[in-house]
Structure formats: C-alpha cells, structure tokens
Structure 1
Amino acid sequence: MNHLGPELREDELAGLLAAGSPDALSDAYRRWSPLVHTIALRSLRDPHDAEDVTQQVFVSAWNGRHTLRPDQGSLVAWLVGITKHRIADVRTQRYRAHRNLTAVAAHTTTHASSPHDEECAERLLVAHELERMGDPRGTVLRMAFIEDRPHEEIATQLGLPLGTVKSHVRRGLIHLRTRLKEVEDVSS
C-alpha cells in the first residue's frame, strides 16, 4: 500500500479520505491510531476493548467518510469524535451485560432453581456473550461449538487464516469462562 507521506497536510489528507482514497485511510491510521488507542485504553481500561475500538473507529471513518467535512474541522478531531462514540457503545454494552447478569443472578438466588433453570440461564448467558463479542469472534465460537464445525472449515468459510480462527476460539473461551465465573460468584 502506498503511503501519501508525512509532508501531506492534515486538511489535504482529510480531503483525500473524504474522496475515498484507501491510501488516505492508511495514512490516517498510521498517524492517529496510537492516539485513538490511548484514548480508548484510558477510558475503558481493557487492552482488548481498546484494540477493538481502534479498529472500529477506522472502519467507521472509512464507512462514514462522506460525512467528513475538511473545511469545517480537523481530521483528528473528527476521529476523536468517532472514538468517543465507540467508547460509549462499549460502555453501553458493558452496562447491559452487567444488568442482565445481575438479573439472572438475582433470579437464581431468589427462586428455588432446578438444574434445568441453571442450564437455561447458562445458555442464555452464553448466547448473550456470543452476541456481545460480535464478529468475527462470536461467529467463530458459534460455528465451532454450537454448530460443531472444525477450525479449518470455519477458516475457509469466513476467509480467515486458521491461526486467527484458533486465536478467536482461545480468547473467546477465556472470555466466556470469566463471565460464567462472575455470574457464579454473584449468585453464591
């Protein structure tokens, strides 16, 4: 991929990005992804969420490039604005997940629960967490464990490297284990 160079002014880069230049997006990412990541990390205090937000910001920037108005503000301010929205989205997801987990835990502790109720609650929690993970991790886990597909098939179908699929499975399982333990601890 060609880089447009550090000598390109921010307003020129913004104009190229708004016009649909992939090289402009690449240069914007190279210049400002460390800033976006730092803002996300300081706000969310989770390296994985900060990485996800950083990626989402630049995907959103590309998809929303038609809204960029270089004559009305700086490109970096526009990216920071997108960053704040993505951070708010993550916080909203966290709040909803916590609220749902608390409701499940409260229901479990206040009602005599049967093994069937507990299994149902765990399935709901797993389904919620897979949805919350989003793509591709949630999809990879769904395909691997609910649909019982081999990693190679998942990689081929999703167009991902096999190592990436395995990494999503490993990280996703760690995440699910942590969330299930949190619910267990709350309901104890």
Structure 2
Amino acid sequence: MTTNPPSGAMPNGDELSAWLQAVAAHQDRQAFAAVFKHFAPRVKAYLMRLGSPEGLAEELMQETMVSVWRKAALYDAAHAGVSTWIFTIARNLRVDQLRRKGQALGADAGECDADALEDTAPQPDELLSIQERETRLRDALRQLSQEQAHILRLSFFEEHPHARIAQELGIPLGTVKSRVRLAIHHLRRLLGALEP
C-alpha cells in the first residue's frame, strides 16, 4: 500500500518510482491512481504543446497511462526517471499516430510529411532543468503555511474554480482570491530565494 504526498506537496522522484514499482510488483491500484493523478494532466498539456488538438491529446494521454499500467514492470530507474519514461511513452505514441496518419496521406498523395515525424522529445538538459525547477518548487511549497499550500493545491494542482474552493472552505469568494494571490506572491519570493 502506498501513501500520497502531504497536502499541497508534489511527489518527488523516489515517491514516483516507489508508486511505479508497486504497480509493477502488485498491480497496486492506489499507486497507479497516484501516478495517474500526477501525470495525466501533465502528459495531456505536453501533447497539446507539441501541437496535438485537445481531443487527440486526451486520447493519447489515456493510451499513455494504459501503457504505464501494462508496462510498469519494464521501467528501470537506473536508465531514466519516471517522468522521462512516461513522457517518452507519450511522445512515441504521438509519433506512431503521426506516422499512421502520414502513411495514409502517403498512399493518397505519394509522400509523407517528414516535419510531422520530427523528434520533439525534451532533450536531457531540458529534462534536468525541469527536474531542478520541480525540486525548487517542492522545496518552496514546503515552506508555505499549511493554509497557503492547501489553497494552492486546490486551485492549481486540483484545478478547482475559486467559487468551488470558497464553498469547500466555507469562506467568501473574495477571500479565496486574496489568499491565492498572497500564496502565489509568497511562493514567488521563496522561489527567488531558492534560485541557484
């Protein structure tokens, strides 16, 4: 059985790896739910940044997460981080989809769109930079008060609208908005202090 990170905290690489190992070893549904919750919106956003329309990005994200469930035993922490492994699966599925589309076009038009098959995976230095930013963000979030971390988690990580947060916390909408602004301001100051 796995545990989720504390409220408002992003999971670190060790936690992500432990969840994936639990999925591989025991088909742990709770661990997979944690992996899915963390990666599904990020994978979809990544695919959309690469130019996939929202509907296709959603479909490819679902395929990616099904592959993560089925292939969890193939993950090797010695070769790549969990994020790198999952985003590589997503990129490969997108390339496969573009190739299928290109082959169909090639049969009709006699050629394949080579630009559509361009390798758009993040480069190792870019992945390292992303991991460093995520580490700084996790460190900064840990320094926020519990109230600030909670309201940011609801607003940004769980993507609740401010009106819903106000209802859940039993506070006025204006208070939610001002608390979110204050928390973001504090987080920015903390991130500035953590810059290397």
Q: Normalised by the size of structure 2, how large is the TM-score?
A: 0.47
User: Which structure has more RCO (C-alpha within 8 Å, separation ≥ 6)?
Assistant: 2
Structure ranking higher in helix proportion: 1
Structure showing greater Rg: 1
